Amino acid sequence: MTVKRREFLGTTLAGAGALLAGCGGGGGGGPAMGAPNAGFGVSLSQGQPLKVLSKLANASSEPGRFSATVTAAPASLPLVEGRATSLWLYDGLLPGPVVDVREGDHVRIALVNGLPLDTTIHWHGLPVPPDQDGNPMDPVRPGATRVYEFDVPAGTAGTYWYHPHAHGTTAEQVSMGLAAPFIVRAADDPLAQVPEVTMLVTGIRLGANGQVSPDGPMDFSVGRQDGQLLVNGGWLPVHAVRPGETQRWRILNATSARYLRLALDGHAFTLVGTDGGLLAAPVGPLAEILVAPAQRVELLVTASTTPGARFTLRALRHPIDAMGVGTYATEDLLTVATTAGTPAAATAVPASLRPIEPPGPAVAQKRLVLTQSGMGMMGGMFGFLINGRPFDMSRVDLVSTVGEVEDWDIVNDTLMDHPIHIHGTQFRLVSRESRGQVAAAPYAAWLDTVDVPAGTSATIRVRQGLAGKRMVHCHILEHEDAGMMAVLEVRPK
């Protein structure tokens, strides 16, 4: 099957490119739009059963210890008929192996860098000490091995992920296949009895030669435009479910830039968890849920009681700029197929999940203004800035104190949406402001990434628990690499 060119790559975004690049003059249709996709149209096999992700094996037999080695290296997979696609993978797997640990565990993971360039592993969302968190300041050279070691504290149960964070090449490394889930479990998980499925969404874009196509001008402006969205490494996989069964889906958005506004035909979601784990109480039923790049959700989904039926999980149409010009078209992700046989008994959903303690009043404020520099011509490298400056890892941009609660106003003065991520902690959304209207966060949830749509601002309440340098950045990886990243130094009290 030939993949049709997506709306996003066609005329709709041509105008946006001009807007975003700040060189609007004349004729909206930019010359470079869609150029990186010139060879588009390779076929991937589709419709395979949803892959159950492999777990990273624990080499330690001591209770409370997780010890393993993971290798980042080139590998080839037969994604396209008759061709081998060269990728960069963790342990040869697309996606990489799941780290599955318990609260209280001590984790020790050795990274072997078999790549031809510097890499790191960043433990996205976890409160890992800064020197163990795979910051761009701590590159692991080609051929080198680096041991990361940290504790997974009580209260952190949730769905996280790991990926490279090398200076300037994060987007490339992730688009080549380096990403994997990291799940932390609690001994008293109120949903432990509910069957669960992990679904890691990534994107892939292959050229006519069957190889991953490099980022082009369009990708550098709005973030990488993937050819296909993959779930657990498969294109449009089929997930078989017993009719009437309730499952807990851990969905991770590990794409470079793709906003996933998820909906499942004929079904509603109950939201039970976000980036940092369970909510205080279930939220729903929801017809759809937006999962910005880097975010995760935990959903309860009760399958239709009709045996032998098929339903599509989709990423719905979603605009990513103020003008509504840059818009992701609706795209299918996965088929849910109910099996034959008698429906499963209904699962009772607990009315409360776990306490979410209020963080207390803020003792300091910060303001982060997101802008873009208009220096680039169409398709040129233009800058995405935080407080007027592009990333410089030798500079400290923001200073906080261990344990202090702060309110941050994140103001998006650009023409497109940015998912802003802070390392090392989970924060709370307090409110959002748009055109002078302030809306309080509808429910308490732990986040490490907050979407800040163009022309709006978000206020978050954040506290860092460990001293050292943390990254704050847009998780559209091309924006991060282009400079939309700041260094937060957390000082001891």
Amino acid at 182: F
Q: Decide which of ligand C2O, Cu ion, none touches 163; Cβ closer than 5 to 8 Å per partner kind.
A: ligand C2O
* Binding flag, residue 432, ligand C2O (CB under 6 A): no
In this structure, what DSSP letter does residue 8 have?
G
For the CB of residue 183, give the shortest distance to Cu ion in the complex, in Å: 16
Residue with tokens 């779930």: 231
For the CB of residue 326, give the shortest distance to Cu ion in the complex, in Å: 12
Binding mask 177-206 for Cu ion (x = CB under 5 A): ------------------------------
For the CB of residue 448, give the shortest distance to ligand C2O in the complex, in Å: 8
CA 172 to CA 434: how far, in whole Å? 33
Among 206, 474, 486, 488, binds Cu ion (CB under 5 A): 474
Q: 23 or 176, CB closer to ligand C2O?
A: 176
CA 301 to CA 347: how far, in whole Å? 10
Strand-pair partners of 302: 246
Q: Decide which of ligand C2O, Cu ion, none touches 87; Cβ closer than 5 to 8 Å per partner kind.
A: none
* Binding flag, residue 479, ligand C2O (CB under 6 A): no
Task: Give the E-state strand segments of 114-256 in sequence order.
Answer: 122-124, 145-151, 158-163, 180-185, 196-204, 228-231, 234-235, 238-241, 246-253
Q: Which of residues 291-320 bind ligand C2O (CB under 6 A)?
A: 294
Q: Decide which of Cu ion, ligand C2O, none touches 165; Cβ closer than 5 to 8 Å per partner kind.
A: ligand C2O
Instruction: Specify whether the CB–CB gap between 194 and 26 falls below 8 A.
Output: no
* Binding flag, residue 122, ligand C2O (CB under 6 A): yes
In this structure, what DSSP letter does residue 46 have?
B
Q: Decide which of Cu ion, ligand C2O, none touches 241; Cβ closer than 5 to 8 Å per partner kind.
A: none
For the CB of residue 322, give the shortest distance to ligand C2O in the complex, in Å: 25
Q: 239 or 473, CB closer to ligand C2O?
A: 473
Q: Which of residues 452-471 bind ligand C2O (CB under 6 A)?
A: 471
* Total residues in contact with Cu ion, by rule CB under 5 A: 6
Q: 362 or 474, CB closer to ligand C2O?
A: 474
Q: 163 or 205, CB closer to ligand C2O?
A: 163
Among 239, 366, 432, 473, binds ligand C2O (CB under 6 A): 473
Instruction: Specify whether the CB–CB gap between 218 and 225 falls below 8 A.
Output: yes
Query: For the sheet containing 106-113, what is the strand order?
Result: 83-90, 65-80, 106-113, 145-151
Lookup: tokens for 311: 């339903």
Burial class (CB in 10 A: 0-12, 13-18, 19+), 490: buried
Residue range at the interface with Cu ion (CB under 5 A); choices 17-25, 104-112, 150-158, 418-426:
418-426
Residue with tokens 């008929």: 81
Lookup: tokens for 393: 């890892």
> Element (H or E) spanning 330, and its range?
none
CA 309 to CA 1: how far, in whole Å? 23
Q: Decide which of ligand C2O, Cu ion, none touches 463; Cβ closer than 5 to 8 Å per partner kind.
A: none
Task: Give the E-state strand segments of 81-156 in sequence order.
Answer: 83-90, 99-102, 106-113, 122-124, 145-151
Q: 418 or 428, CB closer to Cu ion?
A: 418
Residue range at the interface with Cu ion (CB under 5 A); choices 117-125, 156-164, 180-188, 432-440:
117-125
Among 37, 67, 128, 165, binds ligand C2O (CB under 6 A): 165
CA 74 to CA 56: how far, in whole Å? 18
CA 386 to CA 487: how far, in whole Å? 10
* Binding flag, residue 423, Cu ion (CB under 5 A): yes
In the complex, which residues of this chain contact ligand C2O (CB under 6 A)? Answer: 122, 124, 163, 165, 294, 421, 423, 471, 473, 475
In the complex, which residues of this chain contact Cu ion (CB under 5 A)? Answer: 124, 418, 423, 474, 476, 479
